[in-house]
Structure 1
Amino acid sequence: MCAFVMVAEDDTKQAELVRRYLRREDHSVLVVCDGRAAVDEVRSRRPDLLILDVMMPRMDGLDVIRTLRRDYDLPVLMVTARSTAEDKLAGFDLGVDDYLTKPYDPRELMARVRSLLRRARSSDGPVVLPLRVGPLALDQIRHEVRLLERRIECTPAEFRILEALMSSPGRVFSRSQLLEQAHGRDSFVTERTVDAHVKNLRRKIETDPRTPVYLQTVYGIGYKMAGHG
């Protein structure tokens, strides 16, 4: 599963270590050392995966994600020395797909890279019709979500959660089921990340995220997609 991976890391020794491990698995690798360069190179080179440090010069990792998610849905693995739950949820809320705290074992990094690449490529398969719930439509082939024909930008994890919910309107999905849908069985993240993904989706598709019409909470269990005829 060869891919083009971009590494945004201002620690040159750490960046070189990550590059060596990626090259061992035959990935093409581009290393940049500041946030602005990361944004510019994603726009011009379109990598398959971005490994992104939080603390970088010119533009930090969270601002990089905030900028890129306006136009791109590439998988993003964030690495950082910040280890609190609030820091991690802030990253997931912006659209990060996975999160690794420094110092980390490079073998764990590569396991997460493989997981993200598998999830990104698992959409290859037979042609299926778009899913529709009222004016909300999800096209699995084009990887697009539209509400009243307005395109809604979603991260890969958000898209997969919405796909699961829209495939069975009215069915209640537990957080663990949605976590597996979003990040796979070999996920290294917690069920709380599902809440962050759903919160982000509500901001994008609900008129009033505080009183959701589509993505409804089933307290003590998880979430469901309300049917709209």
Structure 2
Amino acid sequence: MKRNILIVEDEQKLRDITVDYFTNEGFNVFEAENGQKAIDIFREEEIHLIILDIMLPELDGWSVCRRIRKISDVPIIMLTARSDEDDKLLGFELGADEYVTKPFSPKVLVARSKAMLKRAEGTGGKEEGAISIGGIDVNQLSRIVRVDGEEIILTHKEFELLTYLIENKGIVLSRENLLNQIWGYDYYGDDRTVDTHIKKLRKKLGEKAIYIRTVIRAGYKFEV
């Protein structure tokens, strides 16, 4: 089945090039030149991944990401002309899954998108099935997480992070290990990316957040 990609970029030349690369790789591509059009397309179409620029007319990328996260956990890759660390952290706080800084290689962007879709659809090499521990139920097929029977909404990166921590319960996992396993070895972020996602994950887990323990100068471990 072809996957639907929404590319949101106001610079037409860059958008055209990116659209061509994804189309040549067999994707159905929807495109938007502003934030409001992106929201409209997302509401009308079944979108599997969003490539989202930050600087957009009408609605900026931050606002688009925030609105979409209220209704969906679709993977979002944000594009930015800045490498400012605070910008990236804000994006992760809003629910972005990954960042790509301009100028970028369209081939690399397509490769990252494919890898993210495989992980999101459970075909990235993880064992499929259900996990139940300490009142947390994780279904790797449906990607549904429940805490004491109540479903919580996680982004794809949060889901992968929680699953990996649980699968390695009792083991101290360094931030570098988590970056490599969840974001990939070609990811150029830093340790603060992990800390930001752990913070958001703990907030969503509520009382169960105590299971994710900080090990000073070492990393994190899941322990019930």
Task: Provide the residue aligned with 2:111 in structure 1.
Answer: 111
Q: Is 2:154 the counterpart of 1:157? A: no
Q: 1:154 to 1:93 in 2, by over 3 A?
A: same
Partner of 2:222: 225
Q: Which moved more, 1:83-92 or 1:133-142?
A: 133-142
Q: In 2 relative to 1, CA 89–15 (structure 1 residues): closer, same or farther, beyond 3 Å?
A: same
SS at match of 2:173: strand
TM-score, L = length of structure 1: 0.88
1:201, CA displacement in angstroms?
0.6
* Residue matched to 2:55: 55
What is the alpha-carbon distance in structure 2 between the residues aligned to residue 123 and residue 215 of structure 1? 26
1:6 aligns with 2:3: no
Q: 1:156 to 1:36 in 2, by over 3 A?
A: same
Equivalent AA in structure 2 for residue 27 of structure 1: F
Distance in 2 of aligned mates of 1:25 and 1:123: 18
**Equivalent position SS for 1:88:** helix
Structure 2: segments with no counterpart, 5+ residues: none
How does the TM-score come out when normalised to structure 2? 0.90
The letter for the 1-side match of 2:165 is L
1:146-165, Cα deviation, whole Å (9 max, x unpaired): 11222111111110110011
Compute the displacement of 1:11 (Å): 1.5
Q: Secondary structure at the match of 2:55?
A: coil
Q: Unaligned regions of 5+ residues in structure 1, if any? A: none
CA–CA separation in structure 2 for the residues paired with 1:81 and 1:126? 37
- How far, CA to CA, are the matches of 2:53 and 2:183 in structure 1? 20
Q: CA deviation at 1:2?
A: 4.7
Query: Any residues of structure 2 matched to 1:71-110 within 5 Å, and which?
Result: 71-110=71-110
Q: How many Å separate the matches in 2 of 1:188 and 1:28?
A: 28
2:69/2:95 contact within 8 Å kept? yes
Hey, what's the Cα distance between the residues in 2 that align with 1:201 and 1:123? 23
Distance 2:141 2:29 in 1: 28
Q: Distance in 2 between matches of 1:111 and 1:69?
A: 24
Provide the residue aligned with 2:44 in structure 1.
Answer: 44
The code of the aligned residue for 1:220 comes to R
Question: What residue number does 1:65 align with?
Answer: 65
Which letter maps to 1:24? N
> Percent of aligned positions with the same letter in both sequences?
37
Q: Residues 126 and 87 of structure 1: is their aligned pair in 2 closer, same or farther, counting only changes over 3 Å?
A: closer
